[in-house]
A and B are shown apart, each in its own frame.
Chain A
């Protein structure tokens, strides 16, 4: 009896000890930590605020009184529409494995995603709850179409807006998000062979090496070209060039711009997917570039036109935010400063000289700010991500270190991103606007436009006095 009992206890003790040490020995799946999860929830809330009410007020203040409510309505409804479509099929088509352009339908209606499902971050072995990743990305999918609304403001049929947005969301936003951001995650890059296999499943532009931390291509260039084409195809507003189309409330615009600025910390720093020093860098780059751009637009305008304007400062800030979006997790503060100063100046040209050159009635300067700023930002990301210029460089997940940096190679990758986005989104937009025009008609009647969309389309007035 004694001879068997002692070995029994020894074995039992050994099993007990191994059991305790289990998580260390067993190759258990990583679980999210509360810090990263909390941050991502907060970031998602911040990005939501950027659209409702940030963008709604920024745009609303820029139109005439009689159209204020129409902007509020269009932004609010587009946000809601895109949220629903995202949950049904958007997330699946953007963020599951499919081909290089579209994901698959494996997560339609978020099938299979539970409270325990996890999504990869940019660090090996670190995950966040997939559910919050779904909704963080949802806010991006919702704000991007909302940006387009500014280009054809004050003259579109509400039904045409919703129909166009649904089409564009499906055939332009989802594939471009997939192309730029979909990958297998860092944990798939265990060695060179596994890394090559994983890379082959990634989105088309990811494979081309294009880097876009928070959406310079996916959000800004994408929306900008769709907006510009919409402005052309919808035609100019009645009275454009003759009647006053001055903003009715720069107070609202300033409130909107401020909400955009503050919410953008969620957009940019949240795109880090974890609460780390890199998120703090993205935060700092966002603050720096924005402030610099507001000043450069303002001072240039002061010098050229004689007076510094609130609209100039607000627009400059947005230009800086747009430009730093692809760069925020890749460049250093010095790079952010330079990018901000350049963005303010170049976008000032974008809404003046370039706008006159293009000749479209891009009512709220979507292309002048988001297009010009987005293209500049995407290009300069390739320049300032260089560790030699204070950047963070591009990480090699097989070698587990920062790769050697080639500016020319990276800029070429960035050009792939810019070009593909402009062409793909451009073509989808032309087709979508045409289809909607044929089936529904894009514009309201001249009478309805003169009366104002608030009363003619929505039966309401923004203000009663």
Chain B
């Protein structure tokens, strides 16, 4: 089992949700985050004080799936959120040790 973490531009979230649904992903966790990579921040000026704001708002989505689904899901994510401009984001895939559905007690593959 694998966990896919994708940092994406916030306005792409709705499109991504729909696209993932179409490939059979019916659950995800979404967090609002800030960060930067190569995308530059902006400057804010309040009277005499100037601030450089490095961090840019992003959205992180986390999906847990079976290992053989990873390629299709990451493919879908990339196709849907890519704009071609700096700041499109990154996808991380990591292994998951175990899963448990709290309500029923189902484990691992049955809990996905």
Contacts and interface: CB of A to CB of B under 8 A. Distances in A.
A365 B47 CA distance: 9
A307 B48 contact: no
Nearest to B50: A305
A247 B45 contact: no
B57 to A, nearest CB: 16
B48 A246 contact: no
Q: Is the interface of B mostly helix, strand, loop or mixed?
A: strand
B44 A351 contact: no
B16 to A, nearest CB: 26
A248 to B, nearest CB: 11
Interface in B48-76: 48-49, 51
A246 B44 contact: yes
Nearest to A240: B49
B45 A356 contact: no
Give the size category of B's interface with A. under 10
B45 A351 contact: no
A246 B46 contact: yes
Contacts of B51: 244, 246
B91 to A, nearest CB: 30
A216 to B, nearest CB: 22
Contacts of B45: 305, 307, 309
A243 to B, nearest CB: 10
A313 to B, nearest CB: 12
A346 to B, nearest CB: 14
Contacts of A312: 47
B47 A352 contact: yes
B46 A311 contact: yes
A355 interface: yes
A151 B51 CA distance: 20
Q: Is the interface of A mostly helix, strand, loop or mixed?
A: loop
Residue of B44, B49, B51 with most chain A CB atoms under a 10 A cut-off: B49
B45 to A, nearest CB: 5
A188 interface: no
B47 A311 contact: yes
Interface string A342-355: 00000000011001
Give the size category of A's interface with B. 10 to 19
A356 B47 contact: no
A368 B48 CA distance: 10
Interface in A319-355: 351-352, 355
A352 B44 CA distance: 15
Interface string A215-253: 000000000000000000000000000001111000000
A355 B48 contact: yes
A315 interface: yes
A10 to B, nearest CB: 81
A154 to B, nearest CB: 14
A362 B47 CA distance: 12
Nearest to A356: B48
Interface in A51-99: none
Nearest to A62: B46
B99 to A, nearest CB: 31
A312 B46 CA distance: 8
Contacts of A309: 45-46
Contacts of A247: 46
A245 B50 CA distance: 10
Nearest to B48: A352
A305 B48 CA distance: 10
Interface string A291-314: 000000000000001010101100
Contacts of B49: 245-246
A384 B27 CA distance: 71
Nearest to A311: B46
B2 to A, nearest CB: 33
Interface string A402-437: 000000000000000000000000000000000000
Nearest to B52: A244
A2 B44 CA distance: 101
A305 B45 CA distance: 8
Contacts of B47: 311-312, 315, 351-352, 365, 368
Contacts of B48: 351-352, 355-356, 365, 368
A311 B48 CA distance: 11
Contacts of A355: 48
A280 to B, nearest CB: 34
A351 B45 CA distance: 12
A240 to B, nearest CB: 10
A53 to B, nearest CB: 21
Interface string A266-285: 00000000000000000000
B31 to A, nearest CB: 15
Nearest to A306: B45
| Closest CB pairs A-B (n = 8) | A352-B48, A351-B47, A351-B48, A355-B48, A246-B46, A305-B45, A244-B51, A311-B46
Given A246-B46, A307-B45, 8 more contacts: A246-B51, A247-B46, A305-B45, A312-B47, A315-B47, A365-B48, A368-B47, A368-B48
12 contacts: A244-B51, A246-B46, A246-B51, A305-B45, A311-B46, A311-B47, A312-B47, A315-B47, A351-B47, A356-B48, A365-B47, A368-B48
Interface of A: 244-247, 305, 307, 309, 311-312, 315, 351-352, 355-356, 365, 368
